[in-house]
Structure 1
């Protein structure tokens, strides 16, 4: 399956097609406020004790290529209003894409009616953490170059140059794409907030395939660049961002062309790489691999709704139950492990000024010195763990969906002492260096897991050896993080992330980043994925 069909099949319905220049048009903030006030006043008149309004315009652009051809260019827009209320102590929600005053008022009235009907079976009233109103404020992703303003031809030419570099490097096939997101979100509430936000995200990627003509076998290597909360400047590489490693890696910029050329050569190497011998190894995990393990084993199990069992059908609950947090001494990992949550970090996918409940975002500890100290919460959860305010973790992926608790950026702090990946590898006698993300599996409690990667290199007596293949590492969350024995310093810290963090029924997606530096884990079980048991 090519990138075009594979990518588009993973995307939710994100609106109707529009001309490219439609994305550059802005709606006057005064008009947004007028429309929001219609909803606030209509809901209040029908008996709502609290109301919030999200007026959202969601712009998306996809440029998709294969070898020397542009396969598809798609521009979509979705625009409407979601209205959430509390009436009789219960939530109600309604949405409309008809943005005239009568339609908005009717949607607000419907939300109140739904809340009142829901209250007939609600056993306890909603308890919202206090939230001050901010008045009229705004926030924008600090981009240098709006990717939507870059001509389609320039973006297509870049992707075709990426493909040409891969083919020159020996690739048999290559697919590449650029996915752009712009969320223009306006939030208003009866707390007194009117918040206008302009959020930008970018995801460049490719898949290189190398086929052995004699055997018919093939290997692939995906792009090592991550999606980011940045503008088009992310694709303009700078020398100071380049990291010396086994492969081409960058900190805050991404040289997609250089990566594609190297990917073709590495895909060819994978064809002749030796199959790993199963056993215990010390693993040196690059941030391009570790981010996904953080996401699944640290991000999801610390979502409070999973802990409480409110979320179970989509990806399970959590082993990090409240009793472990209440003990104040649950040993999640070694003392080197410090995991923080935030929606602030510049360039991250989760960075916003305010969440979808109008709460200003911040940073807080999740795991401190290896001990579980906190979770991720929103306004109606905060009281459950004794918090006086929300942590700003509320999000909806569309104006038509109700907002709920979603993962912020969850990151592993870098080490305090100077340490480079090269220095770390010098101290490893028998290990494997793993770059890039691959297939994974984790159980419904986010505890027992298996992860693979893109590239694997054996480490023998402190030196990088030959390439390996058929590698996957197995562990459980607590055992794995307690095996953490070294973390490189902040000079090696990088962001990975995903556009497709799924949750909820009906399902919604969330974009989130996970930062880390190269990290060592001792004595981890490695299996050979090609050998039958």
Structure 2
């Protein structure tokens, strides 16, 4: 945004908020066309592809997208922030002489798409001077007229700001009714992405993605100055509309979360040592994300993704794929992009590939990896040995029009017990000395996703197969292979829950993705637990 536009937006927003208006005025678009109009976007996409071919590209794709994001937050009885932003533009990616080139622009018109396509081709030609081997793309089936949208009942951008703020403030008020609850924050985040993809392979695809994330955090303060918090981790973000906020019922749940925060003030501090853990899926999804989903991204394994949060302990591929035991025989980790409401669910990825469902871990053994069209040929030998076709799993994604697409994780799920619906009581019943952990908390993990430490929200002491009281200041330490091989029982479908991350960062320049992780409750033996509390 140019300085003059910024000042105009700022003045308009200030006037609107001062008048109590729920709608921020938009500036008139400089271009006389709507780039998201299907007829317009198709014409622009075809012009870009034609210009790329004429400039020497052996392959080209174009993404035209418009993003609308909205975030608002409160603390106790006041509004703390509000942001409503839109961004529209396009990016062209090409291969010339076996190397990638990419260029983008926010000026979406017929002349500009031609100029940017030529610029991308020139960049690719320059990059080819330093390439070690020509790019090879896995085959893809052309989709000449594809359309897909996230499930939606209520468009969150049609709900008045006043209604959203009222819901958050009512939730805050309910939490503050609980004696001992002193501080409370609440917020909502929404995103809509309209994207058009076209490629020289013959695909033309239109998709609309929605994401919604309501959340709260409540802090209780004791007379001795101790403070304990409870976040609304049993409300996960979803690729849905405002109906997800409605169904989350923050005002109805706020009192319970506040009471749990207050109970932690008088909970018994955990004694460090070895414990059996029963991890609820509201907690376990994050452990899966960090210690399974990230290290099985092929670009991390190959060393292409290193500066931002490291590489992977799964290297080299030949020593792990088909050989490495991640866990016991009942452990199956699935990659997919089709779960309704899953944050990574789509019709086609940002290379025009229809994602498939595949087992990253099968019967406890590392079985497959996350791939894009460029990455899949790197596993050609493995696919030939197993009789699998060399194809992308559809794991390409770009946050916006102005950044290039690259490998991002799908929904990565720990499947429930393969034979029966194991209840939570059975998991607890087999523990003599242990801890149940509900909700995700602070964590840290090393650059190879091998050594880690995880906290939580609510901790229950287990003695002789029964929950006997509350604990606090709990965190566990783990090494990825030892931890997952120590999982001796998983819950059934009845314990299954889908958690996820609304803000999963990766890449340089940094991009944000959103991803869901479904899992049942699970039991882990002999895990090292530490006390994170303050000592006099």
Partner residue in 2 for 1:463: 466
Q: In structure 1, how many angstroms separate the alpha carbons of the residues matched to 2:263 and 2:305?
A: 43
Distance 1:189 1:22, change over 3 A: farther
Counting only pairs closer than 5 Å after superposition, residues 282-321 of structure 1 correspond to structure 2 as 282-321=276-315
Q: Deviations over 1:89-137 (max 9, x none)?
A: 1100000000111111111110000000000111100001111211011
Q: Does 1:73 pair with 2:55?
A: no
Shift of 1:431: 0.8
Decide which of 330, 333, 339 is 2:327's aligned counterpart.
333
Match of 1:398 among 397, 400, 410: 400
- Provide the residue aligned with 1:184 in structure 2: 194
- The range that moved more, 73-82 or 523-532, is 523-532
**Residues 450 and 95 of structure 1, relative CA distance in 2, 3 Å threshold:** same
Q: Is the 8 A contact 2:187 2:216 kept in 1?
A: yes
Counterparts in 2 of 1:21 and 1:346: CA distance versus 1, 3 Å: farther
- Aligned match of 1:152: 161
- Map 1:434-513; keep pairs closer than 5 Å: 434-513=437-516
Provide the C-alpha distance between the structure 1 equivalents of 2:438 and 2:210, rounded to a whole number of angstroms: 27
1:311–1:26: structure 2 CA closer, same or farther, 3 Å change rule? closer
- Which contiguous aligned blocks of 4+ residues in structure 1 show a shift greater than 6 angstroms? none
Q: 1:50: how far off? A: 0.6
Listed as ranges, the matches of 1:99-114 within 5 Å are 99-114=108-123
Map 1:104-503 to 2 at 5 A: 104-170=113-179, 171-212=181-222, 214-224=223-233, 225-237=235-247, 254-321=248-315, 322-326=317-321, 328-386=322-380, 387-415=389-417, 416-503=419-506
Tell me if structure 1 keeps the 8 A contact 2:36–2:66. Answer: no
- Report which stretch shifted further, 402-411 or 227-236: 227-236
In 2, Cα distance between the equivalents of 1:458 and 1:127?
A: 54
User: Judging changes above 3 Å, is the alpha-carbon distance between structure 1 residues 295 and 85 closer, same or farther for their aligned structure 2 residues?
Assistant: same
1:246-281 C-alpha deviation (Å, 9 max, x unpaired) = xxxxxxxx2322332111111111111111011111
Match of 2:519 among 511, 516, 523: 516
Is the alpha carbon distance of 1:143 and 1:189 closer, same or farther for their aligned partners in structure 2, counting shifts above 3 Å?
A: same
2:20 matched to which residue of 1? none
Q: Structure 1 residues 282 and 468, CA, compared in 2 at 3 Å: closer, same or farther?
A: same
Per-residue CA distance 1:475-516 (angstroms, 9 max, x = gap): 111101101111111122111111111111111111001100
Q: Distance in 2 between matches of 1:425 and 1:443?
A: 30
Q: CA distance change for structure 1 residues 375 and 491 in 2, over 3 Å: closer, same or farther?
A: same
Which residue number corresponds to residue 3 of structure 1?
none
2:184 alignment partner, SS class: strand
SS where residue 342 of structure 2 aligns?
coil
The DSSP-based 3-state class of the residue aligned with 2:311 is: coil
Indicate the larger mover: 420-429 or 42-51: 420-429
Q: Equivalents in 2 of 1:329, 1:421: separation in Å? A: 31
1:249 is matched with which residue? none
Residues 220 and 258 in structure 2, CA contact (< 8 A), matched pair in contact too: yes
CA contact (8 A) 1:324 1:372 kept: no
- SS of residue paired to 1:436: strand
For residues 329 and 66 of structure 1, what CA distance do their matches in structure 2 show? 51
1:268 and 1:497 map into 2 onto residues whose CA distance is 26
Aligned CA RMSD, in angstroms, stands at: 1.9
Does 2:27 match 1:33? no
Q: Offset of 1:26 from its aligned partner?
A: 9.2
Q: How many residues align?
A: 500
Q: Is the 8 A contact 1:336 1:484 kept in 2?
A: no
Tell me, in whole angstroms, the C-alpha distance in 1 between the residues paired with 2:205 and 2:36.
14
Q: CA deviation at 1:531?
A: 6.5
CA contact (8 A) 2:184 2:219 kept: yes
1:335: how far off? 1.3
Q: CA deviation at 1:427?
A: 2.1
Aligned-pair CA distance for 1:334? 1.1
Shift of 1:27: 3.1
User: Unaligned regions of 5+ residues in structure 2, if any?
Assistant: 1-5, 14-22, 28-33, 381-388
User: Could you list the runs of 5+ residues in structure 1 that have no partner in the other structure?
Assistant: 1-12, 238-253
For normalisation by structure 1, the TM-score amounts to 0.91
Q: Secondary structure at the match of 2:401?
A: coil
Q: 1:199 to 1:106 in 2, by over 3 A?
A: same
Distance in 2 of aligned mates of 1:342 and 1:20: 38
Per-residue CA deviation, residues 119-177 of structure 1 (Å, 9 max, x unaligned), is: 01111000011112110110000112222222222211111111111111232111100
Could you tell me how far apart the structure 1 residues matched to 2:430 and 2:527 are? 16
- Per-residue CA deviations over 1:399-442 (Å, capped at 9, x if unaligned) read 00011011111110011312221232122111100011111111
Equivalent pair of 2:212/2:245 in contact (CA under 8 Å)? no
Any conservation in 2 of the 1:424–1:488 contact (CA below 8 Å)? yes
CA, structure 1 residues 281+26, in 2 after alignment: closer, same or farther (shift >3 Å)?
Answer: farther
Compared CA separation, residues 26 and 101, structure 1 to 2 (3 A)? closer
How far apart, in 2, do the equivalents of 1:325 and 1:282 lie?
28
